[in-house]
Structure formats: C-alpha cells, structure tokens
C-alpha cells in the first residue's frame, strides 16, 4: 500500500535519511523504532509532504506522492497524527473533529463518523464543548487520533502516540490502535519510542539508526532479537 524506495532527505547540510526503503502492506500495522534523532519522524513528515526528499520515490496506493502537496496527499486517504498531538487548543472538541473532516462535504457521513469517534473515545463526548487546550495529555492524544479518523483514512501514520502519557493511558491508546486495525481494517504506520509496546502491537518492524534501516523483520522476530532487546527493550 505504501512503499519508500531509496529515499534521501536533507536539512540543509544534514543528511537526515540516507536511502530509506520500506513497505507497509494493506491492512497491517508496521512500526519504526530507533533512538531519538534516527529519522523516524522525518520519515513520516516526508511521506505526508511536509518535507521533500532529495532523491528516491514514495508510492502510495499505486500512485507516486513524493511530488504532491500535503493537502493532495490527505485527499488520497493518507492521514498523519503528528508528534505532540498538535490539536487546535482554542477550538472545542467538536470543532477539532470538524477540522479533521475539512475536505469532506457529506454532512451525514461526517456526523456518523463523529458518533463513531465518541464510541471509540467516550471521554471526548463528555468533553465535546471544552476547548482542546483544557484537555489532559491523554485526552488530547485521543482527540488527535479521532480528528485524523474524521478524514476517513485508508492509512494512518501515528508519531509517538504514547509520548508523555501515563502507562494506563498508553495502554488505552494502544488498545484503540489495535482495534482500529482489527475491526476497521485500517492500515497503520507507527513511530513509537516504547519499542516493546510497538513490537507487541505491530505485524512488522523497521529499526533505524542515524537515518538508515539497520534491520527489518516480523515484529515478533525483532522482539526476540538479541541486538534489538539489548538496545531498545532494556534486556539482553
């Protein structure tokens, strides 16, 4: 469904991605793990058109997207929930959800999806008239995911959904991620610092080191790999 082939990205003189190639099969969860600064978030920003690759190609759902504008990429059904949540703090929960559907004109479908979002995240229905900035960190992360789902994505990219959250909230978030994949058939590309949780949730994984893929395999195999366990899982 998504394929990166030999993608290079520069920030000025900094060579951030050095020939990244990866694939995300339809209906699967694929995770990218690695240390801070390895290029994980840069990969998602490049896929969503916020950064331009210096060279290489990105193909999504049969069409090349690395030369497309970010708004056109969203129209293809590829949505990005960024690191740090990036909700609109001065807008209410309802208004944030409406912003997620800004490319749509099917009012009935939008309201149906709003109700589904409240089924997934009941706390958001209780907070629907509150400004986003008054929500807790966990509630903001739920809102960020729900807002992305309002665009009816076929592939959802999630950047550090557990960042700064209490363990019990992280567990709730990842249960929702697994449910969206299992019950909605949503394809997911997940960047996550919590490597253990990411590998338990994903079907396949890629390990980054300073802008290079150093390992790829089924997630269960990576979780058992001694090198991965020592570097990212806290055990040898």
pLDDT-derived band at 236, boundaries 50, 70, 90: very low
At residue 156, φ and ψ (nearest 5 deg) are -115, 125
pLDDT digits (tens, 9 = 90+) for 152-182: 899 999 999 888 888 888 998 899 899 999 9
Q: Residue 234: its pLDDT value, please?
A: 63
> What residue has token string 């951030």?
16
Could you give phi then psi for residue 213, rounded to 5 degrees? -80, 115
Answer yes or no: is 186 within a domain. Answer: yes
Residue 3 counted as domain residue: no
Tokens, residue 104: 């749509």
> CATH number of the domain that 213 lies in?
3.40.50.300
- Pairing outcome for strands 204-209 and 29-34: parallel
| pLDDT for residue 134 is more than 70 | yes
Strands 2-11 and 55-60: antiparallel
Assigned domain for 172 exists: yes
User: pLDDT tens across 73-125, in order?
Assistant: 998 999 998 887 788 999 999 999 999 888 788 989 999 999 999 999 999 99
Q: Which two tokens stand for residue 231?
A: 């570097």
The tokens describing 144, both together, are 């960020």
Q: Could you tell me the pTM of the whole model?
A: 0.90
Residue 235 has pLDDT above 60, yes or no: no
d(CA 94, CA 148) in angstroms, rounded, equals 13
Is residue 62 situated within a structural domain? Answer: no
Residues 209 and 50: beta-carbon distance below 8 Å: no
Residue 9 within any structural domain of the chain: no
If you average pLDDT over every residue of the chain, what do you get?
A: 92
Position 137 in a domain: yes
The answer to whether residue 179 sits within a structural domain is yes
* Tokens 């907070």 sit on residue: 127
Provide the residue range defining the domain that includes 41: 27-47+68-232
Q: Identify the three-state secondary structure at position 48.
A: coil
CB 20, CB 4: distance < 8 Å: yes
3-state SS record for 75-89: HCCEEEECCCCCCCC
The total of structural domains in the chain comes to: 1
Q: Is residue 12 part of a domain?
A: no
């Amino acid at each position: 469904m998504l394929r990166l082939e030999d993608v290079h990205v520069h920030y000025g003189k900094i060579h951030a991605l050095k020939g990244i190639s990866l694939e995300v099969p339809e209906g699967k969860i694929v995770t990218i793990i690695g240390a801070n600064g390895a290029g994980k978030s840069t990969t998602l920003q490049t896929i969503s058109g916020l950064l331009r690759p210096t060279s290489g190609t990105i193909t999504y759902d049969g069409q090349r997207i690395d030369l497309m504008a970010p708004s056109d990429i969203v129209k293809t059904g590829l949505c990005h929930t960024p690191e740090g949540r990036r909700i609109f703090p001065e807008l209410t929960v309802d208004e944030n959800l409406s912003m997620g559907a800004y490319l749509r004109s099917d009012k009935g479908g939008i309201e149906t999806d709003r109700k589904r979002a409240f089924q997934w995240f009941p706390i958001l229905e209780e907070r629907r008239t509150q400004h986003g900035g008054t929500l807790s960190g966990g509630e903001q992360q739920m809102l960020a995911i729900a807002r992305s789902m309002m665009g009816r994505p076929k592939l959802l990219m999630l950047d550090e959904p557990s960042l700064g959250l209490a363990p019990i909230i992280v567990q709730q978030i990842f249960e929702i991620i697994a449910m969206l994949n299992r019950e909605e058939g949503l394809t997911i590309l997940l960047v996550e610092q919590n490597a253990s949780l990411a590998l338990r949730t994903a079907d396949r994984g890629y390990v980054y080191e300073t802008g290079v893929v150093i390992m790829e395999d089924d997630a269960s195999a990576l979780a058992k790999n001694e090198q991965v366990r020592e570097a990212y899982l806290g055990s040898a």
